[in-house]
Amino acid sequence: MDSTWADESRPPLQPVTEAPEDRLALAQSLLGDPASGVTRLCVVGLPEREAILLLVAARRQGLPCSLARGPSGGLTVTLAAPEPLTWVQPRPRRPWAGLRRAAAVLLSILGAGRGIPGGSL
């Protein structure tokens, strides 16, 4: 039976294999964008070699990741979003602290030249 939808001239579809670098690039683009809402990715059923390569590449890029073996024997690599940097709040500035420190240094220099001990405020 001939089908008008099938094109016999096309070669059969081959399974797509992705390199660990391609998977890692996709993971970084999804996990690196906080607006995407993606916080964790699991790549399931990988052969050992691919799973190890992905895990090593992710750790080199600084992504938190883990490795687990599933019940079927395939490995699962879990990639998490990097922790957001928590910036340390600057201490409140005291306006006269720098001036006081400069005056103390100046007095110690002048006091050393005249033999006056101390020089602190």
> How big is the CA angle at 75 (ends 84 and 73), to the nearest 5 degrees?
155
Q: What is the CATH number of the domain that holds 27?
A: 3.30.1370
More confident residue, 120 or 100: 100
Number of folded domains that form the chain:
1
What is the domain extent for residue 32?
20-80
Is the residue at 99 inside a domain?
Answer: no
Compute the average pLDDT of residues 67-88.
81
pLDDT over 70 for what percent of the chain?
A: 67
Residue 27 falls inside a structural domain = yes
Q: Which is more confidently placed, 37 or 18? A: 37
Structure confidence at residue 78 as a pLDDT band (50, 70, 90): very high
More confident residue, 1 or 98: 98
Tell whether 63 is covered by a domain.
yes
pLDDT at 46 over 60: yes
CB atoms within 10 A of CB 43: 23
Assess if residue 97 is contained within a domain. Answer: no
Residue 107 within a domain: no
Predicted pLDDT of residue 67: 92
